[in-house]
A and B are shown apart, each in its own frame.
Chain A
Amino acid sequence: MTDRRKFLTGMPAVAALGFATVAGSSAARAAAEVKAAATRRAANVIDPKLRDAFPSLPVTDQDGKSHQFYDSLIKDKIVVLNFMSIRDEAQFPITAKLSKLAGHLGGKLGRDVHMVSITRDPQRDTPENLKVFSEKFGAPKGWSFLTGIHQDMKDLSLRMYRMGHAHKPGRRKVDVVFYGNGSAGTWGAFPVDIEIDDMAERITWVMPSKRAEKMPHRAGPRVLNAINGSNNNREI
């Protein structure tokens, strides 16, 4: 056979190393891992290096203030991030939904959590128009509506999802809101249709938690519901 498989080239002649799987019993491994995990946690410090991957593009908020996208709005922050346009709001009311989330977050918004809405339609959505739009939804401090040059807005949306076909109003029927920890670089997404308290709960997932002092603490299942004999899952 002349077309010997490529993967065979570079096959080593050296004898490979022996391999033993981890020695000992399950109980011993579990106990050792509890100890090791505690030690690693104690020694762990948050990596000060840049741990994220957003372009730091120039953007302008609804107050006309300029920002470098990554440096001012993402880095070191817990962020809720979505894409919108004023024209699209009539067909797909994502800002109306998020305004309820903003109300639910209350005092945490602007302090613990920052909301960032990026327009897909920067030609029409000028800072002045976004100002009027945000006031219509009573957007509090801590919720930025961003615009900029067309290409930069495209780059930001392409960063999050590669969708070229849903920029026009009325084309969107579903969407997600991204949520992340800018200093950790951990990001998730929730669908717009979920309930407001579920949204608020999910944002806490990317926040550092207060670890229970004494291990271990029960997460579940809950005690069975006497009425229907089920529904003992975690309450979220």
Chain B
Amino acid sequence: MLNRRDTLKFGLATAGASLAPSASEAVPQSGLVFPDTFEPSIVTRPSPPSTPFVAPLNVMPVAQTVDPGTLDPAPDPLRHQRFDDFPPNKFYREVISEFRWKYHPEPPYGDGHVGREGDPEIGTFSWGFNGITPGETYHANYDEPIFLRRENHLPDVGEAKANFALPSVTIHLHNAHTASESDGIPQDFANPGEFWDHHYANFPAGFDKREIMSTLWYHDHRLDFTATNVYAGLSGFYLLFDERDSNNERDTNPKAFRLPSGDFDVPLILHDVQFDENGQVVWDFFNPSPTATDPHDVGNSGGATNNFGPDFGYTTNGMIGDKFTVNRTIQPYFDVKRRKYRFRILNGGPSRLYTLHLEVHPKRGKPYYDDFTILSTDGNFLPVPLVKESLSLWVAQRHDVIIDFSKYKSGDMVYLVNSLEMRQDGAGPSGRQLEEDDGIMQFRVRGRKVRDPSRVPRRLRKLPKVDMSEVRRERLFVFDYDNGLWTVNGRLMDPNRIDAKIEQGSAEVWTFRNAGNAWAHPVHTHFEEFRILEVNGRPIAEDDVLNSRKDVVSLGPNDEVVFFGRWRDFLGKHVMHCHNVVHEDHAMMIRWDIVPVGEGD
């Protein structure tokens, strides 16, 4: 096991080096856009200390329906595409507001309590849904359309305490097969005092059962303010179930997967967050007024010095926090029974990328690394479960995994750890593996082995066919950096400019190319999953997690990724963008529309 660790370490270090050559070796410092001497607040002003693994894991409650008669005004079918094809039979209401949330029980974060427990005047100002962050977890079923009203009760600009964010929201359901007006595109925002209605039809793309999805999430997508609004707390899970992934580990239907369900199916959302000395969440932009210092060289091009310190910049590169949170709790612990669990692990951003491992610390004996059994990527089941020693998790990506705690003993500790080092400005990986892993969360194995009715099936979901004869056209998108900003094909986002007109029902082949050699982009396109055909000219191996349906491309330095996608069932506006949400806001995003046949470009 010790050798394995060394193998792992060296193997990844080599891979890392080829992924992004260390900047100091590749180019002289004076040519760097972000010199290594640039020090963001994560370095100059670390968050107050907090003891790891003393905060219990926050498990979000499941959202419950409301009586549709209580929605005033009533839902209006004339405002939704295909409303009558998919009449909703479940109605929900979400109130978005500002409140104080305790990320940790210790001061200055908390008062011995976490979340909304304890003194309501203690905790950091956060935004959330129905009084909690992350919001309630939706349990939705295929063929059961949902109607959801989201009301914005946030304070106005100038009154909101989380003042780095904009109290105007549009909540995107990532990556639902949903009409434009219900998708939560950046333009469809609701200001304080307004509501927006969402109609989720919950049917698979093209009515093809192979297109069924499972782990979705919802988050803010506000034009110019996505990064800050999600960071303030606006994220949550939306889980879709069907006959096979039936949310019942005791299901007697022979087609059912019988994956761990109920208390043993736990969504985990990872956000890295930065706090000030009072335990308030900070965004890099909002910091105390800089004070004048002696001019000092920070490695800027042309030798321009900085006369102000600590050195804060309005961040266009990314935002890295020094506190790892899971379900908006700093480094939590979770008591687990000795049986199988399904964890749905999501990187909620804003900018950090992870390589996750399981590190086992037996009560007696030496620590070692263990494997994940991976069921899905980006919320889409793989053809077969894959056993892997690590998970690559870029922003907005999801992996459902099985961890079987029955093989450990009571008193053993299992840690979810990260080994990927990020550039401190958040623009991408540093190209190095961490010397010491970051501890994300702790599983405490407790008690005797228990009866476990759940299973891991040998086969999961078949992939839809890629039929190249359906392809109407190809498109190339180049992701680059220009003038402190992030461009797609040399341009910034304009919501009134259509960058691609895609004909309804057609397929296209898209190429994403990263023209940068020192930054990374998790690129997401809305509405339908796609199939990656090639990464840097190589096809995808069968036992690769990329051999799946995807909705986020990991576009590393100089990478080129080609995929096949289809656009079916609805018309209207959507977007494709970098999910390093700071890049998205500055303004690495395009608008594409699904248009009737014959009107495409």
**Min CB gap A67→B, angstroms:** 16
Residues on the A chain within 8 Å of B294, using CB: none
Q: Are A174 and B490 in contact (CB under 8 A)?
A: yes
Q: Are A174 and B163 in contact (CB under 8 A)?
A: no
B244 within 8 A of A: no
B187 within 8 A of A: yes
A228 within 8 A of B: yes
Segment from B114-122, B264-272, B377-385, B510-518 that makes contact with A: B114-122
Per-position contact with B for A187-208: 1 when CB-CB < 8 Å, else 0?
1111111110010001001111
Segment from A23-31, A106-114, A128-136 that makes contact with B: A23-31
Q: A7-B439, A8-B361, A26-B63 are in contact. Are A217 and B195 (CB under 8 A)?
A: yes
Which chain A residue has the least Cβ–Cβ distance from B79?
A221
Q: Are A219 and B189 in contact (CB under 8 A)?
A: yes
**Min CB gap B173→A, angstroms:** 14
Q: Are B483 and A172 in contact (CB under 8 A)?
A: yes
Provide the bound-state CA to CA distance between A222 and B164, in Å: 29
Q: Which of B44-80 contact A (CB under 8 A)?
A: 51-61, 63-67, 70, 73, 76, 78-80
- The contact size tier of chain B is 35 or more
Provide the bound-state CA to CA distance between A183 and B163, in Å: 10
Provide the bound-state CA to CA distance between A233 and B153, in Å: 21
Interface positions of B (Cβ within 8 A of A):
2, 5, 33-34, 38, 51-61, 63-67, 70, 73, 76, 78-81, 92-95, 97-99, 105, 112-117, 130-132, 136, 151-161, 163-166, 168, 179-182, 185, 187-197, 223-225, 285-290, 292, 295, 300-302, 304-308, 312-314, 316-317, 331, 333, 359, 361, 366-367, 415, 417, 425, 436-439, 482-485, 487, 490-497, 570-573, 585-587, 596
Q: Are B494 and A6 in contact (CB under 8 A)?
A: no
Which chain A residue has the least Cβ–Cβ distance from B300?
A164
From B80, B95, B157, A37 is in contact (CB under 8 Å) with B95
Q: A18-B56, A55-B290, A195-B494 are in contact. Are A206 and B93 (CB under 8 A)?
A: no
Q: Are A186 and B163 in contact (CB under 8 A)?
A: yes
**Min CB gap A164→B, angstroms:** 3
Q: Are B314 and A220 in contact (CB under 8 A)?
A: no
Q: Which of A118-165 contact B (CB under 8 A)?
A: 151-152, 154-155, 158-165
Q: A53-B285, A181-B157, A234-B188 are in contact. Are A224 and B93 (CB under 8 A)?
A: no
Provide the bound-state CA to CA distance between A206 and B157, in Å: 6
Q: Are B112 and A205 in contact (CB under 8 A)?
A: no
Q: Are B483 and A163 in contact (CB under 8 A)?
A: yes
From B56, B70, B154, B295, A151 is in contact (CB under 8 Å) with B295
**Min CB gap B225→A, angstroms:** 6
Q: A7-B437, A165-B301 are in contact. Are A221 and B182 (CB under 8 A)?
A: yes
Q: Are B157 and A215 in contact (CB under 8 A)?
A: no
Provide the bound-state CA to CA distance between A216 and B169, in Å: 15
